[in-house]
Amino acid sequence: MTDKQTETTHFGYQTVAADDKAGLVANVFHSVAAKYDIMNDMMSMGIHRLWKRQTIACSGVRQGHSVLDLAGGTGDLTAKFSELVGDTGKVVLGDINDSMLKVGREKLRNRGLVSNIEYVQMNAEALPFPDNTFDVITIAFGLRNVTDKDKALRSMFRVLKPGGRLLVLEFSKPQHEALSKAYDFYSFNILPTMGQLVANDSESYRYLAESIRMHPDQETLKSMMNEAGFEQVTYQNMTGGIVALHRGFKY
């Protein structure tokens, strides 16, 4: 009798048991949660705010909507969605990592955003909601950390209402070779050093750089969304393709 072969996946450039990845990713975000917002501003020179602003502009969120901000972390998108949906709407800030949720909850409550926001620890692969719950789902810089991305996309499709839309904001493949080379140098030389100086953690930021390289490129992710059931899937490259915003609808 032989042991059942263990399924594997990638954790950055490492090959690990699929069952272990969620815990490894959790350790990364437990480590970086307290400095997450500061590092985001430093790593992107503030450009992440423009990427998120474009995501909100493409979301179609309006008063009365129910929104799931998945892998919502420290709540940048949730804050704006809370204003847009108003008293008759609801925003769920969902994240698999309780450290990130705690930072997000404290930040948003300090801003006085309380009445229409719920905080739920959840796994994107098995969302704890009934079918047809949300008008809009966003996942910003979170999908690349999910172990089974296809399963997560199907789960998102299930909990979207007919007519609802999914927006995936994620690092992607730069469209120009010179930009790609410069981006690689920055990611693997500057970024871990910055992480060590600011967050006292170079390894977590090295993983983040590696996880970006292992994430599906623009066309592959578009195909994955189509296979999960989404229609009219499009994407918009930003900052030369360093980031892409994918959008798909459920009909």
Residue 124 is labelled as binding a ligand = yes
Is residue 194 scored above 60 in pLDDT?
yes
Q: Mean pLDDT across the stretch 88-110?
A: 94
Give the pLDDT score at 197.
Answer: 79
Residue 182 is labelled as binding a ligand = no
| Predicted confidence (pLDDT) per residue in 206-251, tens digit | 888 888 888 999 999 999 999 999 999 999 999 999 999 999 999 9
- DSSP, res 239: G
C-alpha–C-alpha distance, residues 60 and 161, integer Å: 14
Strand partners, 136: 67, 165
Alpha helices in 33-171 (DSSP H): 36-44, 48-59, 76-85, 98-110, 149-159
CATH 3.40.50.150 for domain 29-175+206-249, yes or no, is: yes
| Predicted confidence (pLDDT) per residue in 16-56, tens digit | 788 877 776 666 666 666 666 676 677 787 899 999 999 99
Residue 57 is labelled as binding a ligand = no
Residue 228 is labelled as binding a ligand = no
C-alpha–C-alpha distance, residues 51 and 54, integer Å: 5
- DSSP, res 157: H
Tell me the two tokens of residue 192.
């871990």
User: 3-state class of 20 per DSSP?
Assistant: helix
Pseudo-torsion of CA 214, 95, 83, 54, nearest 10°?
0
Domain coordinates in residue numbering, the chain: 29-175+206-249
Q: Contact, 25 vs 223, CB < 8 A?
A: no
Query: The pTM is what?
Result: 0.87
| Lowest-confidence pick of 119-133, 183-197, 237-251 | 183-197
Of residues 170 and 18, which shows the higher confidence score?
Answer: 170
